[in-house]
Amino acid sequence: MSKRRSVALTLALVTIAAGYLAVLFIVSQIYYSSSIGIDPRSAASFAVSLVILPYVVGGVFLGLFSKSYDPKLALAAGLIATIGERLLILGLAAWTLGGFRQLNSAGEVYYVEGGPDLLGAIQSEALPYFTWVYILLGILVSILALLVAYKAVAWLRQRQRG
């Protein structure tokens, strides 16, 4: 991989991560500023915002900092960012909630009351949007948003030049 492509990929990943954190902060302020606890109604707003906005911004940056349109570069950025984010959430949740792991009388493991599995515990305690739909379908939608934004910027740059 050339130095320019590496820089473009790194900038896209940093931009996606920063966009993810910004969207997470803004949406959480909207839903949680007036009350304590999570609002299950916020799950759709969180999910849609986190699946699309950071990846559109990442695609724009990728288009601005790469020399020519390279869908493989965008696909690599999208896969690294989406899969990395989901694995990071699952790993941190397993590590954090591992201290609260309990067994019921039937010998089944649960983390919190009402959240018998790790995913249920994550949803009930911290991230209401973190569902299987978000995990699996979000990967495809995020990569598509990244590719569309990247292609649009590449097309505009090419049109500007010629």
CA distance 137 to 146: 14
Q: What pLDDT is stored for residue 111 in this prediction? A: 66
pLDDT by residue for the chain (162 residues), tens only, comes to 688 888 888 989 999 999 999 988 887 777 666 555 556 666 777 788 889 999 999 999 898 888 788 899 999 999 999 999 999 998 888 888 777 777 777 777 766 665 567 787 787 777 878 888 999 999 999 999 999 999 999 999 888 887
Could you tell me if residue 156 is left (phi over 0), alpha (psi between -120 and 50 degrees) or otherwise beta?
Answer: alpha
CA distance 13 to 17: 6
Q: What pLDDT is stored for residue 46 in this prediction? A: 78
Nearest to 127 by CA among 26, 34, 46, 20: 46
Q: What pLDDT is stored for residue 128 in this prediction? A: 79
Q: Find out whether 16 and 74 touch, Cβ atoms under 8 Å.
A: no
The residue extents of the domains of the chain are 3-83+130-161
Q: What pLDDT is stored for residue 40 in this prediction? A: 62
Q: Find out whether 33 and 98 touch, Cβ atoms under 8 Å.
A: no
Helix, strand, or coil (residue 61): helix
